[in-house]
Amino acid sequence: MGFLEQFVHNGRALLGHRSKAILLSGAACFGAVLLVQRVNSRREQKKRILEAQRRREKSFQVAERALLEYKQSHPMTNALYILSLSLSELTKQLQESALSPEEVFYTYLEKTLDVHQKLNCCTEIILDSFEQLKTIGSCKRGILYGVPLSLKENLLLKNHDSSCGVVKYLNQPADDDCVLVKVLKEQGAIPFVRTNFPQALLNYDCSNPIYGQTLNPHNLQKTAGGSSGGEAALIGAGGSVIGIGTDIGGSARIPASFCAICGFKPTAGRLSSKGCKSIFRGQKTVLSTPGPMARDVDSLALFMKAEICEQMVFLDPTTPLLPFDEGLYQSRNSLRIGYFDCIEQTPTSPSMTRGVQEVKALLEQAGHTLVPFTPVRILDMAELMSKGALADGGATFLQQLEGSPVDPVLHAQVAMYRLPICLRKVLAFILKPFVSFPSDCVNDTIAQWRRLNLDVVLCPIIGPAFNFCYCGKLMSMVPHSMTYNLLNFCAGVVPVSTVTEEDERNLFVLIGLLQAITGGVGLPVAVQCVALPWHDELCLRFMKEVEELVKKARKDEGANANGKVYLIYDFH
């Protein structure tokens, strides 16, 4: 090789090595930058989560100090009595000045602090409530004068975050209260505590990486249910007399069923949703709505009465000027009731079926007419539920979780939404023959309802309370509740019984459900009452009758009855 050739060869080799080295070091730099970014973002997330947890702790410490101070000069001898009052009794006593807003407030605060320690159900004590308490005298004419109220965290509250368990929503305080809270404050209620939910709200368990898992008041090894699980646990354990949840697939009703309280999903639009933070904005196929949760049906009705007023319509003119019909709520004429105790295509536990059968018998004895009702086109509806709530294949849901650690309760769902699109298309193709062409589900259901001349429908609600992390694996049960969000019918649940040894034995044939609900003897069992859109008062009236009949039957049967009903004050 001549000198020139040697020179060119060495030059090429050198350049080759150099460009490789440049490429390699470039890639390494890029990788390092990504790694640093990732580490920083993890650190930032952790910092935000820790800050939120500290804020929560601080709110509890301030509340504890205020309570101690109050107790030094006020002996709180009425506490047990106050906690035993229903919402109607409580409002009456407050309005007649037989009780003061202060003693009611501090009694509930003390109970809430105690319950939260056991169940981890609250995300914050609302410290502004101490200020509101000082000026509450000006609201004496309000329907809920002096009543302490609990709120699910996704209801906007001025100067407070609504994180929905998503780290990127932390440190974004709201500019204003949501409409429902504004109206309730005008009615004299004092929102004093905010409650827990599952991360990103689209699950019926109750855990998130910021505030952790909420436990069931009836069995600490079970979830409180969700997504309004913090509310259900707090109310079920006696720490709140009335609270607000939200419901797009059963979120006010399922945790109510798990925790033995009443929960109501009104017709969407009847109550204002303005300021109720949701993960999917603009989604119209399956409608979300706020709804009340309480220990008895009268409390739900009183809440509706307090909210449905001119001020709500003024603040949110998308809601109808349709005053609460007290006459209809109080009426007791006999009803024609459609019923079903299972849905063929959806898992139903033995206690869900038994609950419906027992209530059906009581309603018949009370002179109502019970007619078998088959839910129409449930698979079409299931398809619409998934397509409506997850029209983008879960992309928005996953987007919300970006930059957040994912809570274990969501693992099954997230794994499903992360399946490659081609695989999902293959799955959809395979499943397609089992689903007929989506029909007009709303009109088909109404037509069947009219054919049978029904007033209301009695049916099961998901229960009993699940073991942790199983809710996300059993989305196939969601049609029990979500059907009425898709149809936009109103629906509510009432606790009616408890799981028996026989229910538990019968569970062994249901492979899918076994692991999720095994070990449930003694847990609450509820039923669901449904009415047509805008017939909210009729739905509540039906719930009230179920509640009364069950209470009376259990009283007649005595305490050793097979399947004890959860009476209002059992857990105090």
Residue 561 Cβ vs ligand LCI7CZNC, minimum distance, rounded to whole Å: 32
Separation CA 240–CA 264 (nearest Å): 16
Evaluate whether 272 touches 312 at the Cβ level (below 8 Å).
Answer: yes
Q: Which is nearer to ligand LCI7CZNC, 86 or 346 (CB)?
A: 346
Backbone φ and ψ of 556, nearest 5°: -65, -40
CB of 548 to ligand LCI7CZNC, least distance (A): 28
Q: How many residues bind ligand LCI7CZNC (CB under 6 A)?
A: 25
Site for ligand LCI7CZNC in 241-260 (CB under 6 A): 246-251
Q: Is 522 annotated as a binding residue?
A: no
User: 206 and 227 in contact (C-beta within 8 Å)?
Assistant: yes
Q: How far apart are CA 522 and CA 230, in angstroms?
A: 21
CB closer to ligand LCI7CZNC, 187 vs 246: 246
- 278 touching ligand LCI7CZNC, by CB under 6 A: yes
CB 78 within 8 A of CB 103: yes
Residue 343 CB, nearest approach to ligand LCI7CZNC (Å): 8
Task: Spot the catalytic one: 163, 251, 257, 481.
Answer: 251
Residue 386 interacts with ligand LCI7CZNC (CB under 6 A): yes or no:
yes
Strands (E) located in 156-230: 190-195, 207-208, 212-213, 215-216, 219-223
Say which of 150, 227, 228, 481 is annotated catalytic: 227
Task: Determine if residue 8 is left, alpha or beta; phi over 0 gives left, psi from -120 to 50 gives alpha, anything else beta.
Answer: alpha
Q: Any binding-site annotation on 207?
A: no
Q: How far apart are CA 340 and CA 310, in angstroms?
A: 38
150 annotated ligand-binding residue: no
Residues 463-502 binding ligand LCI7CZNC (CB under 6 A) are 475-476, 478-479
Nearest CA-CA partner of 328 in 312, 314, 357, 308 = 308
Q: Tell me the closest approach of the beta carbon of residue 209 to ligand LCI7CZNC, in angstroms.
A: 18
User: Which region among 324-332, 386-394, 445-453, 564-572 touches ligand LCI7CZNC (by CB under 6 A)?
Assistant: 386-394
* 461-495: b (≥16 Cβ within 10 Å) or e: bbbbbbbbbbbbbbbebbbbbbbbbbbbbbbbbbb
Residue 201, annotated ligand binder?
yes
* Nearest CA-CA partner of 214 in 192, 229, 227, 202: 229
**Active-site residue, 182 included:** no
Q: Does 288 bind ligand LCI7CZNC (CB under 6 A)?
A: yes
Q: Are strands 242-247 and 289-294 parallel, antiparallel or unpaired?
A: antiparallel
Place of tokens 């009855």: 561
Half-sphere exposure of 163 (CA within 13 A, CB side): 27
Contact criterion met (CB below 8 Å) for 58 and 65: no
Nearer of residues 366 and 435 to ligand LCI7CZNC, judged by Cβ: 435
Place of tokens 């609990």: 150
382 near ligand LCI7CZNC (CB under 6 A) = yes
Active-site annotation holds for 138: no
Of the pair 179, 248, the CB lying nearest ligand LCI7CZNC is at: 248
Per-residue binding string, ligand LCI7CZNC, 168-207, x by CB under 6 A, is ---------------------------------xxxx---
Scan residues 99-158 and list those touching ligand LCI7CZNC (CB under 6 A): 154
Per-residue x/- track, 414-433, ligand LCI7CZNC (CB under 6 A):
--------------------
Is the CB of residue 285 less than 8 Å from the CB of residue 387? yes
Hey, is 89 helix, strand or coil? helix
Quick check: 389 binds ligand LCI7CZNC (CB under 6 A)?
Answer: yes
Our answer to whether residue 284 is catalytic in this structure is no
183-191, 381-389, 452-460, 493-501 -> range binding ligand LCI7CZNC (CB under 6 A): 381-389
Other beta carbons within 10 angstroms of residue 76's beta carbon come to 14
Residues marked as binding for substrate?
A: 201, 227, 248-251
Active-site annotation, residues: 152, 227, 251
Contact footprint for ligand LCI7CZNC (CB under 6 A)? 154, 201-204, 227, 246-251, 278, 288, 345-346, 382, 385-386, 389-390, 475-476, 478-479
